[in-house]
Structure 1
Amino acid sequence: MFESDTSFPSETKILVVDDEPDIRDLVTFILQDYGVEVTAVASAQEALQALSESIPDVLISDIAMPKTDGYMLMREVRKRSPQQGGHVPAIALTAYAGEINQQQALQAGFQMHIAKPIDPDELVKAILGLMMEVGAK
């Protein structure tokens, strides 16, 4: 995987939202290997509930999900106050990797856009970079 000196700040919490169990499991496995506390949920509704209970350091969400997609989820998240997770740094995970899709993700409130299939090293670098950029933890 990644260089052995790569590490997350202690007690890093990440919320993963994806309707595909295999993707949720993969991202969870990658991040737990770095000592990250992961909450993985299958829908936007579950993500909003999880945000009401605890604000993660980073939110990672799929875009294409049934009922409420990742764009709609982010718009809902961004309507919240900072105390309710409205400013949580967010990364879009999507099979749609075009420039237009990236623009849509940024406009919806995501700070980053990562294409599937997921490259573990790229994912870890992106999360750490985003956390440093926003000063999380």
Structure 2
Amino acid sequence: MQAEDSTDGSKVSYNDTYILNGLRLVVVDDDQDTRELFTFVLESNGAEVIPVASAQQALEAIAQFQPDILISDIQMSGTDGYNLIRQVRNLGADQGGQIPAIAVTGYPKNVNDIDELLVGFQGHLCKPIDLDELIAVVASLAKRVVSS
């Protein structure tokens, strides 16, 4: 199996065990099929997921749900993922302003200025999404990886 860079720079192998049990996630994407797929995969691995279709709904879910991680598409109609993360980072820590966040983009990981594009996010998934990578990145960000 291949290894991916985790959010802290270490390698996460797909042979590792990912423990998502009890993690609370907000998934925001204006594409219903993507929301449903992410929800199914993450819930099948033990996470509790609140799927939402807009940045406004994401802000409301963060306030009510107090999730552990936010997963946000960047290219959304209305308020995009960049504006959403700016709004989240302006919240107080007790309101979710420091929640770890994963950006879902069409930008490949080798784009030179990807760090500048994703300011405010701690992780990045590139479309088309590899579902094993989705689980690995969420687990890594939540520090829920057990090496095999």
Q: Provide TM-score, normalisation by structure 2.
A: 0.81
The corresponding residue for 1:103 is: 116
Q: Aligned AA for 1:130? A: L
| Partner secondary structure for residue 99 of structure 1 | coil
Query: 1 or 2 for the larger relative contact order (CA 8 Å, sep ≥6)?
Result: 2
Distance 1:129 1:4, change over 3 A: closer
The corresponding residue for 2:22 is: 11
Q: For residues 41-120 of structure 1, what are the structure 2 equivalents within 5 Å?
A: 41-97=52-108, 98-105=111-118, 107=119, 109-120=120-131
**Aligned counterpart in structure 1 of residue 138 of structure 2, from 112, 119, 127:** 127
CA distance in 1, matches of 2:112, 2:64: 34
CA distance in 1, matches of 2:100, 2:15: 24
| CA RMSD, 1 decimal | 1.7
- Displacement over 2 Å in runs of 4+: 2-7, 96-103
The corresponding residue for 2:4 is: none
Distance 1:68 1:58, change over 3 A: same
The corresponding residue for 1:34 is: 45
Whether the aligned pair in 1 keeps the contact of 2:39 and 2:49 (CA below 8 Å) is yes
The gaps in structure 1 that reach 5 residues or longer are none
Residue by residue over 1:74-115, the C-alpha shift from the partner in whole angstroms, topping out at 9 and shown as x without a partner, is 00000001110000000000122333344311x2x0011110
Q: Indicate the structure with greater strand content.
A: 2
Q: Aligned AA for 1:89? A: P
Q: Provide TM-score, normalisation by structure 1.
A: 0.87
Alignment: residue pair count:
129
